Amino acid sequence: MYPILRKEINAFFSSPVAYLVIGVFLLLNGLFLWVFKDGFNILNAGFADINNFFFLAPWIFLFLIPAITMRSFADELNSGTIELLKTKPISHWKIVLGKFGAALTLIIIALIPTLTYVYTVYELGNPVGNIDMGSTIGSYIGLLLLAATYAAVGLFTSTLSKNQIVAFILGVFITFLLFYGFDAMAASFTEDGYTIRLLGINEHFKSISRGVIDTRDIVYFLSVIVFFLFITKQKIGDE
């Protein structure tokens, strides 16, 4: 697992991919939260919180994470190196987990600079420190679980095609469906709307973001992650 993890991380940072993803993520959040005079601007909100960041980040990740993962297996399939990789003394699970861990590491690196948002709002609060740290910590945990789910989905879609663009489009489509699709479907139902929303990511993400870590939300995210990693492992075993 660890050789695959190191190989993937080195591949990210030896190309523009890692720097582009981190740069775009921080630039978009910075512009919307601190520069543009719109409804997302933290300075104009009048409240000492960074809820707007946790609203924007899942949508930005919806495009950036499939861009990170689209080459994971699509590149191996296109170049034919997947067969060479499978002949090495390493299990299919370790291959999948190594690539998943590399994508998650890059996401964590992108999130670390956003902690400056928390410090800034903490200092700007009236009085200083007037920020709901429980909700903020819960939101970061939820965002990390959401990003891990996106990464697992992206790994799976990268096994479906040798073309990275196709893998990217499929990744965006499935993550969009999981994040927002069930909410949209729930709006069409009056009686079972809440049950349908529980099938999607957004309801569980919002639940954790309130600062209460519910085991049902954790189990949901872990179940979806394990499911997509499992079918990814099964797919590369069939190649």
Helices (H) and strands (E) in the chain, counts: 13, 0
At residue 226, the pLDDT reads: 96
Peptide bond into 3 cis (omega under 30): no
For residue 25, pLDDT beyond 90: yes
At residue 49, the pLDDT reads: 77
Which tens digits make up the pLDDT trace of 157-178? 999 988 999 999 999 999 999 9
Cβ atoms of 222 and 230 closer than 8 Å: no
Name the pTM for this structure. Answer: 0.91
Q: Residue 148 and residue 99: Cα distance in Å, rounded?
A: 12
Cβ atoms of 13 and 103 closer than 8 Å: no
